[in-house]
Copies of this chain bind each other. A is one copy, B any other.
Amino acid sequence: MEISSEVGSTLSDRIRRGDVLAAACPSRAVLRHLTSQWGVLILIVLEEGTFRFSTLRRRIDGVSERMLAQTLKALEGDGLVRRTSFDTVPPHVEYSLTDLGRQAARRVRDLVDWVETSLPAILDARDEAGRRSA
């Protein structure tokens, strides 16, 4: 990571740009949250709108309550997801993307779109690799 030498400034003032290839750079943890199995899927669903926990859980086939809660918390901690709770009975909680989250989600969506549309070619390549190693 590129770090300036200003004294008395906060970490975010001093880091000009992260470097994910450096194990100690905090960008690596952020990347891990974004690219975790459930992080990716949460971002692309929230790109479509604001949802309650139960809706997110239904949309993301296979996610457990625990993993959904944990991943939402990590993304909230990175400032990518906003959790809004309404003071109703029963309490009502909604999740949406922040501006930063929308920027991240756009890149994640590009990657997911590529995987989804390239799947036939990838499956062909996989068959071929299987034949070569057989």
Q: Spell out A's residues near B (CB within 8 Å).
A: 1, 10-13, 15-28, 30-32, 34-37, 40-41, 44-45, 59-62, 76-80, 98, 100, 103-104, 107-108, 110-112, 114-130
- Closest A-B pairs by Cβ, 8 of them: A79-B125, A23-B62, A35-B35, A12-B123, A18-B119, A107-B111, A18-B116, A23-B61
Does the CB pair A41–B21 fall under 8 Å? yes
Does the CB pair A116–B19 fall under 8 Å? yes
Does the CB pair B10–A119 fall under 8 Å? no
CA of A79 to CA of B103 in the docked complex: distance in angstroms?
A: 29
Q: Which of A15, A40, A115 has the most CB of B within 10 A?
A: A115
Number of copies: 2
Does the CB pair B79–A20 fall under 8 Å? no
CA of A119 to CA of B37 in the docked complex: distance in angstroms?
A: 21
Complex partner residue of A45 from B11, B21, B28, B36, CB under 8 angstroms: B21
Which residues of the other chain, B, contact A16 by a CB distance below 8 angstroms?
Answer: 120
A35 nearest CB neighbor, chain B only = B35
Complex partner residue of A32 from B17, B37, B45, B117, CB under 8 angstroms: B37
Which residues of the other chain, B, contact A79 by a CB distance below 8 angstroms?
Answer: 121-122, 124-126, 128-129
